Amino acid sequence: MASNPVSNETKTKLKGGSYSATYLVERKGRKLIRKEASLEHDREYGYTRWHSQLKKLQRQGKLFPGLFPEVLDFGVDKKNKLAYFELEFIDNAVTGADFLIANPPRKEIDVFFEEFVKALDRLHKVTRPSSKNGLKLYVYEDMERPLEVASKEPNFKKFLEFKEVVFNGETFPSVAHNVSALYEIADKYHHDAWECYTHGDLTLENVLWVPSQKRIVFFDLYEENISDNVYQDYGKLLQSSKHYYEVYKHLDAKIDGNKVDLKVKPYPGIDYFNEKFHDFMQKSLSRDELMIVRLYELSNFLRTQPFHMVSQKDKMIYFYCVGCSLFGKLLKDAGMDGKR
């Protein structure tokens, strides 16, 4: 914690962030959230995304009052060569991840899930036409290209040479050696091209829950998803609810050649939420739509690799293997595993 005696301000760095930094600021008895990004270094993954997040917060905060924290201020810190924006602090809130990891009574999770779905519906029901080719652009920009960028990390580059990976005892094809199949799946199952407003980075850690108000608040939005649709938001949520992202990112996998192992104890609260979400998708989506959700689901373990190069280099191989496991199962269900 840093303290400035002149302005009577304290500044505490919060967890998360690769190319930007987030702080809890206490200024003149008032709490707020401040997010900073360098104006000089790593602009593509840092300042550019920081700025687009600011614009998305401003736009969607106006369109959907109460769903997002209010933007209080933004500007430049020339001395430290930083850009910043400041957000309201939400009192008595807990992240969705922390809420579920604590395993509250199921009736409390039921309330959380109900309000969560209502909040998402407010975003997703506002739709607009799109292009079928948007998903192919997404596959390149958020799946193929991130692997190319991440291959600059020596250990990860060496691991990508394996044509198969053995993940928790099961063998799967390496995505890097079968990129064309991603485009085939996109073409085969993506039919109706439409978009809507989205969160864009819908992990349970990026959702605030205020139990006393039965209020959902979305934060840490993401704009660079090429095509904004429900499948992208759903696939991202599975990263948390199905794959324990918030848990695994703090653990170390055992790596031996192309063999990677890492398992944790079950988290009943997260599992129950995921069961409800799975049932919700089964009732809401067609089989082809569910296949597209799964494509987005695996993409989240590829598109974030450039960010892991900065903050979690040791997790790159593990998360890649999660993606490969999803890829192998998706190929099988698409009837394409025999072609590889």
The most distant pair of C-alpha atoms in the chain lies apart, rounded to whole Å, by 68
Q: Residue 64 is encoded by which pair of tokens?
A: 């959907």
pTM: 0.93
Residues 6+ apart with CB under 8 A from 231: 289, 292, 293, 295, 296
Nearest to 143 by CA among 333, 301, 308, 331: 301
Q: What is the pLDDT of residues 149-168, one digit of tens each?
A: 999 999 999 999 999 999 99
Say what the pLDDT of residue 339 is: 52
Q: Is the separation of the CB atoms in 119 and 216 below 8 Å? A: yes
Q: Is the separation of the CB atoms in 61 and 68 below 8 Å? A: yes
Q: Is the dihedral of CA 30, 35, 37, 43 positive or negative?
A: negative
Q: Where are the domains of the chain?
A: 2-88, 94-339
Q: Round to whole Å and give the CA distance between 101 and 99.
A: 6
Low-confidence ranges of the chain (pLDDT < 70): 1-7, 16-18, 338-340
Nearest to 296 by CA among 230, 220, 199: 230
Residues 6+ apart with CB under 8 A from 167: 260, 261, 321, 322, 324, 325
Q: What is the pLDDT of residues 97-154, one digit of tens each?
A: 999 999 999 999 999 999 999 999 999 999 999 998 999 999 999 999 999 999 999 9
Alpha helices in the chain (DSSP H): 47-63, 96-101, 106-124, 133-139, 145-150, 154-159, 179-189, 230-241, 245-248, 268-284, 287-299, 305-311, 316-333
Say what the pLDDT of residue 338 is: 63
Domain boundaries 2-88, CATH class? alpha beta
Residue for token pair 């270094």: 41
Please name the fold of domain 94-339. Answer: Aminoglycoside 3'-phosphotransferase; Chain: A, domain 2 (3.90.1200)
Domains 2-88 and 94-339 share a fold: no
